[in-house]
Amino acid sequence: MFVVATAGHVDHGKSTLVRALTGMEPDRWAEERRRGMTIDLGFAWTTLPSGGTVAFVDVPGHERFVPNMLAGVGPVPAALIVVAADEGWMPQSAEHLAALDALGVAYGLLAVTRADLADPGPATARARAEIAETSLGAVPAVAVSGLTGAGLPQLRAALDRLAAQLPAPVVDEPVRLWVDRSFTVRGSGTVVTGTLGAGRLRVGDELELAGADEPVRVRGLHSLGEARVEAAAVARVAVNLRATPRDRLGRGDALLTPGRFHHTDLVDVRLAGDPAADLPATLTLHVGSAAVPVRVRPLGPDTVRLRLARPLPLLVGDRALLRDPGRHHVSGGVRVLDVAPPPLGRRGAAAARAQVLAELDGRPDLAGELRRRRLIRAGALLRMGVPVYAEPVAGDWLADPAYWRGLGERLTEEVARHAREHPLEPGMPVDALRQRLALPDRVLVEALVRPPLRIHAGRVGAASANALPEPVALAVQRVRAEYGDRPFRAPEADRLVDLGLGPREIGAAVRAGALLRLADNVVLLPDALDDAVRVLAGLPQPFTLSAARQALDTTRRVAVPLLELLDRRGATRRLPDDARIVVT
Ligand SMILES: Nc1nc2c(ncn2[C@@H]2O[C@H](COP(=O)(O)OP(=O)(O)OP(=O)(O)O)[C@@H](O)[C@H]2O)c(=O)[nH]1
Ligand SMILES: [Mg+2]
């Protein structure tokens, strides 16, 4: 199915055209039919010559109802722009087009209606020129008459071609269904409708609803008037919710895949195009089917901070639109750069923030987020729309690698300082360390503790003060600093001498669990063993010595004794032909 929203000035024939194409009545309200004018969104669908289905969201053209129009086009990626041949380009033709442009709508079609009343040529030429300047670019045009039916076959064919151009929907993404209508069905309860742009919905799914403590559950699903067990994007859907009172939700709310969206009332955004220097201090933000008043705080030349009157489930990269309701004016499009921006308390913070924002483009960027936030839970990043492909440092915490290395060094210094200041205490309490390092979670401190330090009885100290004299502990730490990111490269013999690690020192470090001896003068950090098994398990099994050496990025000097040690420990097994397998 593909979904297209109409757009265009009042009375230009949008609803008549949808009616002629689908045989369905888009004007649902008696008042609309009495006044011959669309007030709220209408929904209709039909089968195209290709056999595919097109669903229309029919919008009102009157300037008073632009907010309804925006709720209709917000979640829909394609537009059918309607201009009357006898009236030509009019104010809401322009305002609707500006809205589509602000939202970045890239797929569309021009229908010049009422072609039985006037030559469609001039209206077509003007409209195409206006549209060409926007995100829609050059669009095909069809002259039609909703009255006589002339041009309808050509329009159906053009809709088919448009459908074929649309990018394939992403069905494995989380669901964010912006509600455009909610009503009660006798015997079933609350039903909401919307355009499912990505993901899939199934009967029985639990979904998140902003402001509700409990998840809501899908009791039934309809699409195009038929009951379904499942609906995949792109689709118009009606969702029947179990035990959810009708007044709990309405237009502008969203049903969400749980845990995948961050409800935010503060966002930093980039203004599209050439932003007006005199953006009003209060505007309305339109995104999806929602419209929320916002306070605007300028930051950089094209970046602002928006304070929303109520939180919305926004993601990095979302497109939205700012409108001045008082002046009936679309102020422009915005792209969300940050849905959890830092407070701007200190002097100069706004200017510094503007510099950060200048570097952002609204594409989710894990490395950049980690650099800026230093430490953050994986779940929090996912909820911002940032894919998480890095390993956590502890629990579900992710860290910027440079920051994390620095923390490790600071931890060692803090422990050493504590030992100097409290020589009789058996190490520094974990929680005191957590506070010194300003870390939000004890597991982070625990993950930072590496041999020769260890945690014992809630304190961090040297594994055994006697077993590892300070010079040896320091030498081990240097090994860790130099080889921590090349865990299978053992220091050469002369480097060991430089570090002051002779046979006796190495013996002490091995006894304390701070080093691992593979052979005379071949030592690794002790965690290398587990890492090696992990790397080897990733190889096609069985593997040769040379494959292992390459995968571990090391030399025979290390690989041979390392594999022998793994054999002895039962982590790998040597086969008769000298190849090995990882024992699982
Ligand atoms: N002669 C002629 N009249 C048309 C045609 N299309 C629409 N009309 C008439 O134009 C008037 C407005 O048509 P609608 O379809 O309600 O226009 P609309 O764009 O949906 O208007 P809003 O929803 O209020 O913005 C109605 O009286 C229609 O009968 C056409 O192709 N030819
Ligand atoms: Mg209408």
CA separation for the pair 496, 360 (Å, rounded): 45
What residue owns the CA closest to ligand 1's atom 1?
A: 114
Query: What is the pLDDT, as a whole number, of residue 43?
Result: 93
Mean per-residue pLDDT over the chain, rounded: 90
d(CA 124, CA 578): 77
Percent of the chain with pLDDT over 70: 97
| 43-54 confidence digits (pLDDT tens) | 999 999 999 999
Phi and psi angles of residue 176, each rounded to the nearest 5 degrees, phi first: -135, 95
Distances (CA, A) of 185 to 174, 192, 353: 27, 10, 49
Could you tell me the two tokens for 103?
């939202």
pLDDT tens, position by position, 462-477: 765 455 777 788 888 8
Best of 10, 14, 16, 35 for a ligand 1 pocket test (most atoms within 8 Å of beta carbon): 16
Could you tell me how many residues make up the chain? 584
The average pLDDT across 328-340 equals 89
Residue 154 confidence (pLDDT) above 80: yes
Q: Strands 78-84 and 107-113, how do they pair?
A: parallel
* For residue 315, pLDDT beyond 70: yes
239: β partners: 192, 221
Q: Are 398 and 372 in contact (CB under 8 A)?
A: no
From the number of C-beta atoms within 10 Å of its C-beta (0-12, 13-18, 19+), residue 569 rates as exposed
Predicted pLDDT of residue 513: 78
CA nearest to 12, candidates 160, 149, 154, 145: 145
Tokens found for residue 203:
């009967």
Locate tokens 């829909």: which residue?
76
Tell me the C-alpha distance between 366 and 391, whole Å. 12
Write out the two tokens for 532. Answer: 């090696």
**Residue 83 three-state SS:** strand
Predicted pLDDT at 425: 65
pLDDT at 329: 80
- Report the atom number in ligand 1 closest to the C-alpha of 113: 31
What tokens appear for 390 in the block? Answer: 């890095």
pLDDT at position 277, please? 65
Asked whether the predicted pLDDT for residue 41 surpasses 70, the reply is yes
Distance between Cα 396 and ligand 2 center (Å): 51
Tell me: pLDDT of 192 over 70. yes
Pick the residue with more confidence: 428 or 463? Answer: 428
361 C-alpha to ligand 1 centroid (Å): 42
**Residue owning tokens 């009789």:** 424
| Distance from C-alpha of 400 to C-alpha of 373, rounded to nearest angstrom | 8
Bridge-based pairing of strands 53-58 and 2-7 is parallel
Least confident of 302-311, 356-365, 417-426, 550-559: 417-426
The HSE-up count of residue 201 (CA atoms within 13 Å, CB side) is: 35
Question: Which listed ligand is nearest to 150 at the C-alpha?
Answer: 1
Q: How confident is the model at residue 202 (pLDDT cuts 50, 70, 90)?
A: very high
Q: What residues contact residue 294 under an 8 Å CB cut-off, 6+ apart?
A: 282, 283, 284, 285, 306, 307, 308, 309, 322
Q: How far is CA 78 from the centre of its chain?
A: 22
Q: Name the pLDDT band for 36 (thresholds 50, 70, 90).
A: confident
| pLDDT above 90 coverage of the chain, percent | 61
**Mean pLDDT, rounded, for 283-308:** 94
Ligand 1 neighbours (beta carbon < 6 A):
8, 10-16, 36-38, 60-62, 113-114, 116-117, 145-147
113 CA to centre of ligand 1 in angstroms:
8
Start-to-end CA distance of the chain, whole Å, equals: 47
The model's confidence at residue 275, banded by pLDDT at 50, 70 and 90, is low
Under the banding of pLDDT at 50, 70 and 90, the label for residue 158 is very high
Q: 485 Cβ partners below 8 Å, 6+ apart?
A: none
Q: Range with the lowest mean pLDDT among 70-79, 162-171, 505-514, 565-574?
A: 505-514
76 CA to centre of ligand 2 in angstroms:
18
Per-position DSSP letters for 273-316, written without gaps between them: SS--TT--SEEEEEETTEEEEEEEEE-SSSEEEEEEEEEEEE-T
Return the minimum-mean-pLDDT range out of 121-130, 260-269, 291-300, 388-397.
Answer: 388-397
Q: Which range (3-7, 308-312, 421-425, 469-473) has the least confidence?
A: 421-425
**Bridge partners of residue 459, in order along the sequence:** 429, 456
Structure tokens at 458: 């809630």
Of 148, 168, 158, 192, the closest CA to residue 48 belongs to 158
pLDDT of residue 21: 95
Query: Which of 563, 479, 555 has the alpha carbon at shortest distance from 515?
Result: 479
Give the position, in ligand 1's atom list, of the atom nearest the Cα of 145: 31
**Residue 494 dihedral angles phi and psi, to the nearest 5°:** -70, -30
Query: pLDDT at position 156, please?
Result: 96
Distance of CA 12 from the midpoint of ligand 1 (Å):
5
The residue nearest atom 32 of ligand 1, judged by CA position, is 114
Say which residue, 142 or 250, is predicted with more confidence. Answer: 142
129-162 burial, b at 16+ Cβ within 10 Å, e below that, comes to: ebbeebbbeebbbbbbbbeeeebbeebbebbbeb
Query: Whole-angstrom Cα distance, residue 286 to residue 334?
Result: 10
| DSSP code per residue over 41-82 | -EEEEEE-TTS-EEEEEE---SGGGHHHHHHHHTT-SEEEEE
- The confidence band for 33, taking pLDDT boundaries of 50, 70 and 90, is confident
288 pLDDT exceeds 70? yes
The pLDDT confidence band at residue 533, using thresholds 50, 70 and 90, is very high
At residue 305, the pLDDT reads: 96
Structure tokens given for 541:
């099994």
**pLDDT band for position 276 (cuts 50, 70, 90):** low
> So what's the pLDDT on residue 470?
74
Residue 38's SS3 state is coil
pLDDT digits (tens, 9 = 90+) for 356-366: 999 998 898 89
pLDDT for position 210: 75
If you average pLDDT over each of 175-179, 400-404, 466-470, 483-487, which comes out highest?
A: 175-179
Q: What is the pLDDT of residue 299?
A: 92
Is the pLDDT reported for residue 246 higher than 80?
no
* pLDDT for 467: 55
Indicate which residue's Cα is closest to atom 3 of ligand 1: 114
- Averaged pLDDT for residues 168-182: 91
Nearest CA to ligand 1 atom 11: 11
Atom of ligand 1 nearest to the CA of 18: 15
Amino acid at 137: G
d(CA 115, ligand 1 centre) in Å: 11
Q: Which of these, 184, 94, 90, lies nearest to 130 by C-alpha position? A: 94
Pocket test for ligand 1, best of 11, 41, 62, 81 (most atoms within 8 A of CB): 11
Please report how many Cα atoms fall inside a 13 Å half-sphere around the Cα of residue 429, on the Cβ side.
Answer: 3
CA of 164 to the centre of ligand 2 (A): 26
Residue 105 has pLDDT above 70, yes or no: yes
**CA of 31: how far to CAs of 18, 35, 36, 63, 183, in Å?**
18, 6, 8, 17, 18
Task: Give the pLDDT mean for 522-536.
Answer: 91
| Pick from 271-280, 408-417, 542-551: least confident | 271-280
Q: How far is the CA of 40 from the centre of ligand 1 (A)?
A: 16
